[in-house]
Amino acid sequence: MTESSAGRLAQDRALILAGGDLNPGGDEGQLLQGPWRHIICADGGARHARALGLRPTLLIGDMDSIDPGTREVYRDVPTLDLPEAQDKTDSQLAVEWALEHGAGSIVIAGGLGSRFDHSLANAQLLACLDRRGVTGVVTDGRQAVYLLTRELTLPGPPGRLVSVIPLGDVRGLRLKGLRWELDGIDLVVGETRTISNEFTGKAAHFALAAGMALVVTGPLKKEENSSGRVEGS
């Protein structure tokens, strides 16, 4: 990649800060590294921008989750105020704004947390990005969620966990560079065969012949203690 093309790529990146959990020091904290063309805070996600020392491009939402101190810090940041009752989440509206303003790659940080419905909806926003030809990832800093429709290559240290979750029936799933490799298997919704695989320290390659799946990277595998019990399990 040339210096000029790398610069254009950086200019196309957008960071969306949602209101879920975010641990910048976690295993996937590198996903929060800029530079960013846009930083969009979805309501309460502004607290993450403040903690990271970032100045948002835009605040978006009905502002029911942002604390007064953070609102005051960002009083001069443009705000897209929304009614409390709406038919889309703040995160989706932030994604749509980023797409309208030229984003070619989007990180949804703080997109996972205690609300399973919001976490799942944020993960499924990756399909919206894919339809527009835009790459994306959802993270809480500890884990990350990617969409697999054709091919995906990810690095990972030895022992980091990774799972593949089918969104509907998938055909021809191939996994290379992981502890357990697969060569062209079919999966249906509800199968758990591809949960808790492991990176081996080299780039892992994921591919599908047809269908759609989520690839979820997790923490490093817990080590066994002297009794053989896995700590933290």
- CATH no. for residue 192? 2.60.120.320
User: For residue 230, is it within any domain?
Assistant: no
User: For residue 229, is it within any domain?
Assistant: no
- Write the pLDDT tens digit of every residue in 28-58: 999 999 899 999 999 889 999 999 999 999 9
Query: Do 104 and 163 lie in a common domain?
Result: no
Task: Flag whether pLDDT at 151 surpasses 50.
Answer: yes
Task: Flag whether pLDDT at 172 surpasses 90.
Answer: yes
- Write the pLDDT tens digit of every residue in 96-115: 999 999 999 999 999 999 89
- pLDDT confidence tier of residue 84, bands split at 50, 70 and 90: low
Res 176: pLDDT: 97
Task: Flag whether pLDDT at 223 surpasses 80.
Answer: no
Q: Which of 118, 142, 166 corresponds to the end of one domain?
A: 142
User: For residue 12, is it within any domain?
Assistant: yes
CA-to-CA dists, residue 205 to 150, 174, 175, 192, angstroms: 11, 8, 6, 19
Query: Do 15 and 122 lie in a common domain?
Result: yes
Task: Flag whether pLDDT at 142 surpasses 70.
Answer: yes
d(CA 77, CA 63): 13
User: For residue 231, is it within any domain?
Assistant: no
Q: How much is the mean pLDDT over the chain?
A: 88
Q: What angle do CA 91, 97, 100 make, to 5 degrees?
A: 145
Query: Do 60 and 13 lie in a common domain?
Result: yes
- The domain in which residue 194 lies consists of 148-220
Task: Flag whether pLDDT at 190 surpasses 80.
Answer: yes
- pLDDT confidence tier of residue 83, bands split at 50, 70 and 90: low
Query: Do 137 and 153 lie in a common domain?
Result: no
Put the strands of the sheet holding 135-139 in their side by side order: 79-81, 58-61, 38-42, 13-17, 105-109, 135-139, 144-148, 213-220, 160-166, 197-198
Which pair of structure tokens corresponds to residue 68?
């007064």
User: For residue 225, is it within any domain?
Assistant: no
Write down the pTM of the prediction. Answer: 0.88
Res 211: pLDDT: 95
Asked if 36 and 104 count as a contact pair (C-beta separation under 8 A), the reply is: no
**3-class SS of residue 76:** coil
When divided into structural domains, the chain yields a total of 2
Res 64: pLDDT: 76
Task: Check residues 83 and 111 and name the one with the higher pLDDT.
Answer: 111
| CB atoms inside a 10 Å sphere around CB 86 | 12
Asked if 158 and 141 count as a contact pair (C-beta separation under 8 A), the reply is: no
